[in-house]
Amino acid sequence: MKKILKFLSYVLVIRIVFNLFNENTTIKEQIDKLKEEITNLEITDLDKKIKDFQNKFDGFKDNNQDI
C-alpha cells in the first residue's frame, strides 16, 4: 500500500512539474508573438512616417524649383 501511495505521489509531482514547464513554454510563445507584432507595428509606422516625410520633402523641392 505504501508503495502505491509513493508511486502515485511521484506521478503527481512529475505531472505538476510537467504542467509548469508546459505553461512556461506557452507563455514564452505568447511573448514571442507579441514581440513580433510590436516589431511589425513599429516597422509599419516607420514606413508610413518615411513616406510622409518623402512626400513633404518632394513638395518642398518642387516649391523651391518654381522660384
Block residue for cell numbers 508546459:
22
pLDDT, tens digit, for every residue of 12-35?
Answer: 999 998 888 877 778 888 899 999
User: 26, 8, 27: which is closest to 16 by C-alpha?
Assistant: 8
Give the Cα separation of 60 and 54 in Å (integer).
10
Grid cell of 30 as nine digits? 505568447
Does the pLDDT at position 59 exceed 90? Answer: no
Tell me the pTM.
0.50
Is the pLDDT confidence value at 7 over 90?
yes
